[in-house]
Amino acid sequence: METNPIPVLTVQTSPFDDQRPGTNGLRKKTAVFEGKKNYLQNYVQSVLSSIDLRDRQGCTMVVGGDGRYFTRTATEVIVQMAAANGIGRLVIGHNGLLSTPAVSCIIRKIKAIGGLILTASHCPGGPTGDFGIKFNIANGGPCPDTVMDKIYQVSRTLEEFTICPDLRIDLSRVGRQDFDLENKFKPFRVEIVDSVDVYLNLLRGIFDFNAIKGLLTGPEQLKIRIDAMNGVMGPYVRRILCDELGAPANSAVNCVPLEDFGGQHPNPNPSYAVSLVESLKGGEFGFGAAFDSDGDRYMILGQNGFFVSPSDSLAVMSANLSCIPYFRQTGVRGFARSMPTSTAIDRVAKAMKVALYETPTGWRFFGNLMDSGRCSFCGEESFGTGSDHIREKDGLWSVLVWLSIMASRKQSVEEIVRDHWAKLGRNFFCRQVLTFDYDALDPRAAFYLMKDLEAVITEKAFPSQKFAVGNNVYSVEKADNFEYIDPVDGTVARNQGLRIIFSDSSRIIFRLSGAGGGMGATIRIYAETFERDPERHNRETQVVLGPLIAIALKLSNIHDRTGRRGPTVIT
């Protein structure tokens, strides 16, 4: 206990006009957080002020992040401001490290009022990279739009913040640290917790660890390679997959969290997890996985580099949930996917007679469905899958689902996927081929492109149109700007992406990325088509979807309007 009470200061500031949080909280270049005076403090104050005073006084919050550059400084400021703003207790990951799923898990476990996650997810880190702050609410999930609006409103008129600049904590010391503050009756408490413990305990109650251990250590041991991409997942992979589940230590690579992720994009897809793809192509490993920096996204590879697309992963998992004790106990109440995600899971839902919800992009839309018991399992095309065990997508949990399925079905990754296609048909959908990220495109140009396209596809005559490309003819069945009414609280989310659905159930979707960050606009194009015939399941995704992409490019006239000849990045 400190002897002298720590002073609480009120500091004058001026508002910033660009602190509207996006899909993933407030994400900016690190230099903005680091270099602009009070930028961080203003945002933290806006988040704290958005919490009703009665809820805030004496409450508990969780803080942790992916360990990227500036995390320590930001954590210190958050601690000093949380104390000054009446928060009673902060639970912080050891050395500031907590994966996003672990934060969600801890918030729920200790009934915290919410948490702050310091991450810019799969974006690069370091002084020239990105930094971000996400605010999760009491259910453990990302805050809904209403809260994001409130934070933004506060940030626009903010004139002062409160802080205890003399309060110093030791992030490397697990345990309690209490501080007496001026004008406070009770001490402010910081608890530094092991980054993995609570999350590991949750997983123990979900999976059959012995079955997975048998797969990874038995006589016919499955050799795996797991790439933590130098993000926060290293300690989780080592503890859970190696120590607990018996995978040999050399199964796990890039397991030391680095402030700049070794200069890499910690983005688990075939373009960025190149060395993992190469190792798997070598044939030695039967299973491969990579995570993003904060551990909510993942990628699965089979032997010889067989890539499981996120939409297929979602559908295959949904069809095999009975391999997991958790779902055998709780039952499967319903599925949900974001609108652009392929409709492969819809076919599973139909076969299993389970409800399927189609939500806008962004994990926060799953929150109400899960809280109200409507949905047990959900996911998105952007490499995220999860369930109602927490309120975030969960990369390592997804890997354990896959390993459980392999242990139970005694099949390889590729066999499991091919069996799935043979049974229910294959939905060709591949964001790698179809995502056109026009980074740094003038936001107005992107806005007008979408507006004009909306006008075209919502014309009365549009649904009777046919498009012929080569031998393929596609007849429009329905086209709209996707709108979602939350079945729980009735909130309406408009303008969530333009979709064109054809009579053969093929789809083309256009949407503006919601990640924002003041770095221009990103337009995404998704395409999907269904193929029942197993003889045709081996065709190249790019070839199969070529005609739909051609239609998308023509309809939007995107190349002429943006002055680009092709996508900036194909992920």
Active-site residue list: 121
Does 313 bind ligand G6P (CB under 6 A)? Our answer is no
Dihedral angle of Cα 225, 227, 233, 238, to the nearest 10 degrees:
30
What is the smallest separation between the CB atom of 130 and ligand G6P, expressed in angstroms? 13
Give the contact letters, 276-305, x = binds to Zn ion (CB under 5 A), - = no.
Answer: ----------------x-x-xx--------
| Minimum CB distance to Zn ion smaller for 121 or for 136 | 121
Site for ligand G6P in 485-514 (CB under 6 A): 513-514
Contacts of 561 (CB under 8 A, 6+ apart): 445, 449
Question: Residue 338 is inside which H or E element, if any?
Answer: strand 334-338
294: partner contacted, choices Zn ion, ligand G6P, none (Cβ within 5-8 A by kind): Zn ion
Distances (CA, A) of 387 to 104, 141, 341, 406, 525: 12, 12, 16, 19, 27
Does 382 bind ligand G6P (CB under 6 A)? Our answer is yes
Size of the site for ligand G6P (CB under 6 A): 13
* Alpha carbon distance 158, 380 (integer Å): 35
115: partner contacted, choices ligand G6P, Zn ion, none (Cβ within 5-8 A by kind): none
| Minimum CB distance to ligand G6P smaller for 264 or for 382 | 382
| Minimum CB distance to Zn ion smaller for 76 or for 259 | 259
| Minimum CB distance to Zn ion smaller for 216 or for 276 | 276
Does 380 bind ligand G6P (CB under 6 A)? Our answer is yes
Site for ligand G6P in 399-458 (CB under 6 A): none
Q: Which residues pair with 387 in a beta bridge?
A: 377
Distance from the Cα of residue 105 to its chain's centroid: 15
19, 23, 30, 404: residue in contact with ligand G6P (rule CB under 6 A): 23
**Site of tokens 């996006």:** 22
Distances (CA, A) of 222 to 103, 132, 302: 30, 37, 11
394: partner contacted, choices Zn ion, ligand G6P, none (Cβ within 5-8 A by kind): none
What is the smallest separation between the CB atom of 19 and Zn ion, expressed in angstroms? 21
Residues shown for the chain: 571
292: partner contacted, choices ligand G6P, Zn ion, none (Cβ within 5-8 A by kind): Zn ion
Number of residue whose CB is nearest Zn ion: 121
Amino acid, res. 435? T
Going by the DSSP 8-state scheme, the letter that residue 132 receives in this structure is: E
| Minimum CB distance to ligand G6P smaller for 117 or for 196 | 117
Does 524 bind ligand G6P (CB under 6 A)? Our answer is yes
What is the DSSP secondary-structure string of 317-382? HHHTGGGSHHHHHH---EEEEETTS-THHHHHHHHHT-EEEEE-SSTHHHHHHHHTTS-SEEEETT
89: partner contacted, choices Zn ion, ligand G6P, none (Cβ within 5-8 A by kind): none
19, 21, 24, 207: residue in contact with ligand G6P (rule CB under 6 A): 24
* Alpha carbon distance 327, 322 (integer Å): 6
**Site of tokens 């979709």:** 499
Pairing outcome for strands 188-193 and 224-227: unpaired
In this structure, what token pair is assigned to residue 177?
Answer: 């640290």
Does 362 bind ligand G6P (CB under 6 A)? Our answer is yes
What is the smallest separation between the CB atom of 386 and ligand G6P, expressed in angstroms? 10
Using the rule CB under 6 A, give the single segment among 323-331, 356-364, 399-407, 556-564 that binds ligand G6P. Answer: 356-364
Give the contact letters, 117-136, x = binds to Zn ion (CB under 5 A), - = no.
Answer: ----x---------------
Closest C-alpha among 532, 349, 495, 509 to residue 431: 509
How many degrees, rounded to 5, is the angle at CA 480 between CA 475 and CA 481?
Answer: 145
Amino acid, res. 13? T
Closest C-alpha among 252, 271, 264, 251 to residue 293: 264
Site for Zn ion in 10-69 (CB under 5 A): none
Using the rule CB under 6 A, give the single segment among 123-131, 243-251, 376-384, 394-402 that binds ligand G6P. Answer: 376-384
Does 394 bind ligand G6P (CB under 6 A)? Our answer is no
Does 571 bind ligand G6P (CB under 6 A)? Our answer is no
Closest C-alpha among 475, 543, 463 to residue 506: 475
Using the rule CB under 5 A, give the single segment among 114-122, 415-423, 425-433, 443-451 that binds Zn ion. Answer: 114-122
| Three-state DSSP class for residue 234 | helix
| Minimum CB distance to ligand G6P smaller for 277 or for 515 | 515
Closest C-alpha among 258, 257, 277 to residue 268: 277
* Alpha carbon distance 455, 449 (integer Å): 10
Does 293 bind ligand G6P (CB under 6 A)? Our answer is no
How many degrees, rounded to 5, is the angle at CA 502 between CA 484 and CA 451?
Answer: 55
Q: What's the helix, strand, coil split of the chain in %, to 5? A: 40, 25, 40
Does 7 bind ligand G6P (CB under 6 A)? Our answer is no
Q: Tell whether the torsion through CA atoms of 227, 232, 238 and 244 is positive or negative.
A: negative
What residues make contact with ligand G6P under the rule CB under 6 A? 23-24, 121, 361-363, 380, 382, 384, 513-515, 524
List of residues contacting Zn ion (CB under 5 A): 121, 292, 294, 296-297
